[in-house]
Amino acid sequence: MYRTRLYLLALIGSLLAASPLAAAPTDVEKLASDDRMADLERKVELLTDELARTRQDMGVPEEPEQLESVWGLGPAASKVYGIGRGLSIGGYAESLYTAVVHDKRQSGDKNRFDALRAVLYTGYKFTDQIVFNAEIEFEHATTSTTESSGGGSVSVEFAALDFLFRDEVNARAGLLLVPMGFLNEMHEPPFYYGTNRPDVERLIIPSTWREGGAGLFGRIGDRVEYKVYAITSMNGAGFDDSGLRGGRQNGNRALAEDLAFVGRLDFEPIPEILLGGSVFAGNTGQDQALVNGAGITVDLPDARLLLWEAHGQLQTMGFHSRVLFTMAHVDDARPLTLALRPAPGGTGDIAASEVIADDMLGVYGEIGYEVMQWILPESGWTVEPFVRVEYLDTQHDVPRGFSADKANEFLVYTGGISAKPIPNVVLKIDYRNRSAREGTLGDEVNLGFGVVF
C-alpha cells in the first residue's frame, strides 16, 4: 500500500515538472503549486485508505492467509471471528477420483470421479459481540440427475448466531453443528487425513450432522473448552442396520416433538495433547404414527438414543496421532424394527440386514509424520505419510430373536500421503482396504485435492 502511494506521488510530480510551472515560477505560482501538491497528497491518502478498507471488506489479504480454528470450527469457517466488522467470505472445495483395484473388484464397483463438495462460508460481524456465521454446501456438482448417478444437493450445513460475552461463557442459536468427534465441526479437507472421512465418523457419528437448537459455549482458562446445546433430536424412522446416518434431520422442517441434549468437553494438559469426549441423549420417536409395509398404522416407540465418544490427539514436531472410540445405544430397538420393517406375516422373519441394533460400536486410530522438514525444509511443502485403522460394528448387539448381518462388522485399513504446497491446499493419495467379517468389499485407490480460503 505504501509503494502504491509513492508511485502515485511520483506520477503527479512528473506531471507537475512537465507543466509550464516548471519554467521560472513566481512566488505566487510556487505557493499555488504547493497548495495543489498538498491537496493531491490528501486525495491520495484518502484513496489509499479507501482501497485498504475495500480490500478488507472483500476479503482480499495482502499477505498469504494464516487461517486458525476458533471455537472448534474449521479454520476457514472461523474467518468471520477475525475481522473487525462487516462481511466475511471463505470456503473450501474437494474432488476425488476412485479406482477400484482390479482383483478386488466386486459386482457394481466402478471407477469414478466426483466433484464432491464446493462450499461457501458467509458470515457477518455486526459488533464485537454479535456474529452470524453460515456454511452453504454444493455436493456432487449438480442437483440434476445424469445417466451415471442421481442428483447432488445444495444444503445449509450450519447457520448460527453467536453472542460473544466473554471467553468463559457465550451463547449460540440456529442450525448448529453437533459438537461430536473430530470432524463434525472441523471437516475442511486440508485438516484431516485421507480422501474419505473415517467411516466411524460417517456411520455412527453421522458427519456432517447439524440440528436446530441453542446453547452455551466457552473456554475456562487456557486448557478447558466446552459446549452445551439443546437441539432437535434425530428421527428414529431413519435408522437402519448400517448406522444412524439416516436419522439426521438437518434443519429441514425438523420434527421437534423430541429434543435432545449434547455436551462436549475438551482438555489440553499441554499444547501438544488434546483429550476430550462428548455425549448425545434424547428420544427419537418424535411422536410419529407411520403406515408400515403391511399397510398398518403403527406408533413409533420413544427409541431413546444415547451416543457418546471419547477422543485423544497428540501433535508434536511433525508427528500426528489420533484415537477415537464411540458407542451408540438405542432403547426400543426391537419394537422400532418391528414397526418399521414388518415381516410378511407381521412378526418374526425379518432379514438380518433390516434389524436396527441395540448397540453400535466404532473405534479408529491414525498416525502421520511430516517428512519434508528433514528432506527439503526450504521448499515450503509439507508431506505427511499416514496410516489409519478402523473397526466398526453397526450391529454390535441386536434385539433378542434377531440375527446380525456380519457384513456390518468390518475393518478398514487406509494408508496414504497428504501433501501441501501451501497450508491452504492439499493433494491426497491413499489406498483403502476394507475387510468384512462376512462378504467382501472392494479395495480402492483414491486421488484427491482440497482447498480452503
**CA–CA distance, 446 with 434 (Å, rounded to integer):** 14
Are 443 and 411 contacting, i.e. CB atoms less than 8 angstroms apart? no
Are 305 and 329 contacting, i.e. CB atoms less than 8 angstroms apart? yes
**CA–CA distance, 175 with 123 (Å, rounded to integer):** 14
**CA–CA distance, 343 with 97 (Å, rounded to integer):** 40
Provide the CATH topology of domain 58-452. Porin (2.40.160)
What pLDDT is attached to residue 421?
A: 97
Cell of 218: 466457552
All structural domains of the chain with their residue ranges: 2-53, 58-452
String of b and e for 136-157 (b: at least 16 CB within 10 Å)? bbbbbbeeeeeeeeeebeebeb
What pLDDT is attached to residue 23?
A: 46
What are the counts of helices (DSSP H) followed by strands (DSSP E) for the chain? 4, 18
**CA–CA distance, 135 with 141 (Å, rounded to integer):** 17
Kindly report the pTM of this predicted structure: 0.84
Cell of 306: 444415547
∠ at Cα 285 (306, 248), nearest 5°? 70
What pLDDT is attached to residue 310?
A: 98
What pLDDT is attached to residue 60?
A: 47
Average pLDDT, consecutive stretches of 10 residues, N- to C-terminus, the chain (453 residues):
48 47 54 71 71 52 70 95 95 97 76 96 97 97 94 96 97 98 97 97 96 98 96 97 96 97 98 98 95 80 98 97 98 93 63 94 98 95 98 96 94 98 97 90 94 97
What pLDDT is attached to residue 32?
A: 64
What pLDDT is attached to residue 26?
A: 65
| Residue 288, C-beta contacts closer than 8 angstroms, at least 6 positions apart | 235, 237, 255, 257, 299, 300
